[in-house]
Amino acid sequence: MSHLVLEGLGKSYGSAVAVEALDLSVERGEFVSLLGPSGCGKTTTLQMIAGFVPVDRGRILLDGGDLVAVPPNKRGLGIVFQSYALFPHMTVAENIAFGLEMRGIDKAERETRTLEAMALVGLKGFADRYPKRMSGGQQQRVALARALVIKPALLLLDEPLSNLDAKLREEMQSELRQIQRSIGTTTILVTHDQHEAMALSDRIVLMNQGRVEQIGAPDAVYGKPASAFVASFLGKTNVLRGTGDGSGAVSIGAFTLPIPGAGTGPVQLAVRPERLHLAAAGAPGFEARVTSRVFQGAHWLLTADSAAGPLILMRHNDGQPVPAEGETVTLSFAPSDAALLAPGDAR
Amino acid sequence: MRRNGPLALCFHALFVIFMLAPLLIVCVVAFTPEGYLSLPTRGPSLRWFKAIFDYPEFIRAFRDSLWLAALSSTVAIMLAVPAALAIARHRFPGREALTTLFMSPLMVPHVVLGIAFLRFFTQIGLSGTFLGLVLSHIIVVLPFALRLVLAASYGIDQRIEHAAISLGAGHATVFRRVTLPLILPGVVSGWLLAAINSFDEVTMTVFIASPATVTLPVRMFLYIQDNIDPLIAAVSACLIALTAGLLIALDRLFGLDRLFVGTGKG
Amino acid sequence: MNRALSQRATPYWLTGPALLVFLGLVVIPLVMTVLLSFYDWGQYKGIVPEFTLKNFHEIFTDSYFFEIFLRTFRIAVLVTLFCMLIGVPEAYILNRMSPAWRGICLLAIIGPLLVSVVARTLGWALLLGSTGLVNQGLMAAGLIHAPLEFMFTETGVVVALIHVLIPFMILAVWASLQRLDPQIENAALSLGAGRLTIWRRVILPQIVPGMLSGGIIVFALAASAFASPAIIGGRRLKVASTLAYDEFLNTLNWPLGAAVAVLLLAALVAITVGSNRLIERRYAQVFE
């Protein structure tokens, strides 16, 4: 039995469907991200789990018990809000102890657990500060400590890092990951930031227009996108036009490679820019003409035209010569680096 | 966001009734056909509305009130616009003190202002004149004009003006073509709020009005002091209807919350 | 004149006209009023410009004046308390309405602010009179047998003033409610707090500054209100401002009236400035 199971969970606002019918199982201790563009239903899903938005259809099972009828203040979940929603009139210690107080825990234990939680998030010595007198990163830590101190069955994170600047965000990502690992609380993160989702999670749930597009480990979803939407939402990708011969082979010009499952006629393959290689002259491959090249420090970004369509590819800045604009090159890729997109699922 | 429960909505309904009841009763009583204060149980009559025209002092007071409101708020806005631009744009010694001084008519009770103007105008021979009324009303409505123009001036990105200067515009042109259009919403709503406050002012005006120059609210106040009859209800009903019309127009034009939030008469 | 100097003079040119008008029409009249309060007056000799403390001595020793000032203070305190008691929940309800409904309700609540206070108080006089709707309703319901006396009583004045001043309280509290984090109630809910606890521990502490600044406005306006006490209270039930009016326009003892006005002004400035300081000191750390 999984720790958290969402069964056919759905929500509509009038005739607009916010979440269609979401099925998801989360194991104990797992870190799962709900990822997608704004309006994809990820936040509504989180709010239904938290109990702030009434559920229209389906069930939310936590250790087998249905949460749908449980009021939000009895669910015992820890939540970190995008705005942190700290109580501005309470000190850091009072903020963190609030949930313990609501549970009727005596003062001595409240104090010990508050201090523990503050140590966990690296806020020792900030007990008597007011939130307004703290930086965004510090406020974020208070919010995390406040959610964790009640030992929640689930930790729900609603875009927790989106208000931080890029550098701080990266620091907090690794710290968040490390804290979650050490206490082992099952965590669900809602984010629109693909890098954040890939850096933090065990599994990613990619959502679009209220539906799940793909569920899987970050590298699996990135490497084998199930649809053109996933391929384009997660990182940069090339969609190559080829022709299937009906026996599991696809050819792009003179370049033929085995792609199991490909049908007959036009097919589309998704290949990441970093997996397109420059082939030696005469080696198998297809021809492309470089149209621009941009230096980006650690690598060069090239764009090219080919019979399979326009392409982008990356060359590591490893001292090897880089093709100039206007030059014709031969490109190839391994069959395992190509994901076959569903027919008609064009970009 | 969570919705209000039935108990909350009950409370709200009672409160709205409390707010509207005195206005509604005035309007209803105004339609009575009887010669005394009563509800129009025998059907509505326009008798008392017609009676207003037999009392030219109400008509004259209304006309004077309109002139007074228009004049005093126009002068107030002409003083407020440059002052607001200076306060919003420049940091200069005395800035805080000036702002406090210009806002002070909100802090000083209008009774005290009325007494002060009565004493002052009597000394300089302006007592009981229309000019005296205009001068005193400029003072009490200026804070309203200043506050709204100030809010609009703080909102301007000064780089827009720098852009105009870099394109070759002179100071007068920048003000006319760039600054003024940008603060215009504040100027218009400031003028309106000033005019409304001038029109409604009674506490201060009652001290400095004379039988020859009297505003409508003061005229009504003095009438009520003697007796309350359906005639005064009819006059009040006209005033309420006028204000309601203006209110709806203002709401359409500006949005009431923007016009009023934070504009206490403190 | 060089350029830097003319730059520095600009704000003074801009504020100059308003400053001149205010010096001439606010500062001078107020100073003259303060001076007037120290002048002597007699039935037959009129105003005598000789320095005397007679007026203030009279006000502080005569129990008639003491009672009027006490009544003024009592009315202002009651009006402020009731405005808080009614205005705070109303602002909260208003804040939770959908924008369309809120717009309509704001018309009903703020709208009366624009109606002349004379017309509004007339409405209360019609409602509260011995043959007024309130008394008729109460008698018809069998709750009372003889009409209750509201006119010419403090109760009547308090009711009318609550109606006149409560919009200021609602606007002040609403402004502080709008500054709340929209997720703050959900945060408290997720930590296990019930509705009542959320109100007491999370919402209320955050809107106290708004309540207090609204309270100061309401108190100051209630203590210096003129038209409503004059119409509902009549000549029998005097407050400080109607007392000053009578001294000026009926008794014609201007120096005594000026002394009443000066005392009222001094008391209000002391109370409002004092409580503003207190609020700022108390809440500076938490809210800014």
Residues A192-198, mean pLDDT to the nearest whole number: 90
Mean pLDDT over the full length of chain A:
88
Residues A150-156, mean pLDDT to the nearest whole number: 93
Q: Which is more confident, A145 or C152?
A: A145
Confidence band of C286 (pLDDT split at 50, 70, 90): low
Residue A23: pLDDT over 50: yes
Q: Would you state the pLDDT for residue B265?
A: 32
pLDDT in tens, A86-145: 999 899 999 999 999 999 999 999 999 999 999 999 888 899 999 988 988 899 999 999
What is the domain extent for residue A282? 236-340
Q: Would you state the pLDDT for residue A346?
A: 42
Q: Would you state the pLDDT for residue B168?
A: 81
CATH number for the domain spanning A317: value is: 2.40.50.140
DSSP for A187-249, please give it: EEEEES-HHHHHHH-SEEEEEETTEEEEEE-HHHHHHS-SSHHHHHHSS--EEEEEEEESSSE
Residues A20-24, mean pLDDT to the nearest whole number: 91
Residues B249-255, mean pLDDT to the nearest whole number: 75
Complex ipTM: 0.88
Which residues from chain C sit within 8 angstroms of residue A132, using beta carbons? 286-288
Q: Among A193, A228, A263, which residue terminates a domain? A: A228
Q: What percent of chain A has pLDDT over 70?
A: 98
How many pairs of residues across A and C have Cβ atoms under 8 Å apart?
A: 72
Residues A141 and A276 in one domain: no
Residues A59 and A111 in one domain: yes
Residues A205 and A334 in one domain: no
pLDDT in tens, B188-220: 889 988 999 999 999 999 999 888 889 999 999
Q: Is residue B242 part of a domain?
A: yes
Q: Is residue A347 part of a domain?
A: no
Q: Would you state the pLDDT for residue A320?
A: 82
For residues B126 and B61, the answer to whether their CB atoms sit within 8 Å is no
Residues A260 and A311 in one domain: yes
With b for 16 or more beta-carbon neighbours within 10 A and e for fewer, the A226-238 pattern comes to: bbbbbbebbeebb
Q: Is residue A345 part of a domain?
A: no
Q: Which is more confident, A301 or C48?
A: A301
Among C106, C120, C272, select the one facing B22 at the smallest CB separation.
Answer: C120
pLDDT in tens, C2-55: 667 777 788 888 888 999 998 988 999 999 999 999 988 877 777 888 888 888
**Helix (H) or strand (E) run with residue A186 in it:** strand A186-191
Residues A190 and A315 in one domain: no
What is the domain extent for residue B123? 48-259
Mean pLDDT over the full length of chain B:
87
Residues A141 and A157 in one domain: yes
Q: Would you state the pLDDT for residue B191?
A: 92
- Structural domain C63-283, CATH architecture: Orthogonal Bundle (1.10)
Which residues from chain B sit within 8 angstroms of residue C269, using beta carbons? 107
Residues A46-58, mean pLDDT to the nearest whole number: 92
Q: Is residue B30 part of a domain?
A: no
Q: Is residue B16 part of a domain?
A: no
Residues A70 and A119 in one domain: yes
Output the six-digit token pair for A306. Answer: 């080919």
Confidence band of B264 (pLDDT split at 50, 70, 90): very low
Q: Among A199, A228, A257, which residue terminates a domain? A: A228
For residues A45 and A215, the answer to whether their CB atoms sit within 8 Å is no
Residues B244-260, mean pLDDT to the nearest whole number: 74
pLDDT in tens, A282-298: 788 888 899 998 988 88
Question: Which of A119-123, A178-182, B252-256, C202-206 comes out lowest in average pLDDT?
Answer: B252-256
- Top residue of B32, B87, B111 to mutate, by most chain C CBs within 10 Å, is B111
Residues A155 and A292 in one domain: no
Chain B residue at shortest CA distance from C174: B261
Structural domains of chain B, count: 1
- How many alpha carbons lie under 13 Å from residue B134 in its C-beta half-sphere? 13
CATH number for the domain spanning B183: value is: 1.10.3720.10
Q: Would you state the pLDDT for residue A323?
A: 86
Q: Is residue B127 part of a domain?
A: yes
Q: Is residue A346 part of a domain?
A: no
Q: For chain B, positions 196-215, list CB contacts with chain C under 8 A.
A: 196, 199-200, 202-203, 206-207
CA distance C74 to chain B (A): 18
Residues A37 and A117 in one domain: yes
Residue C87: pLDDT over 70: yes
Confidence band of B238 (pLDDT split at 50, 70, 90): very high
Q: Is residue B115 part of a domain?
A: yes
Residues A211-238, mean pLDDT to the nearest whole number: 87
Chain C residue at shortest CA distance from A95: C188
Residues A56 and A9 in one domain: yes
Confidence band of C163 (pLDDT split at 50, 70, 90): very high
Chain A residue at shortest CA distance from C179: A88
User: Is the CB of B123 inside 8 Å of chain C's CB atoms?
Assistant: yes
Residues A268-280, mean pLDDT to the nearest whole number: 85
Q: Would you state the pLDDT for residue A235?
A: 82
Residue B115: pLDDT over 50: yes
Structural domains of chain A, count: 2
CA distance C260 to C241: 8
Q: Residue A96 burial (CB < 10 Å; 0-12/13-18/19+)?
A: buried
Q: Residue C40 burial (CB < 10 Å; 0-12/13-18/19+)?
A: middle
Q: Among A228, A245, A268, which residue terminates a domain? A: A228
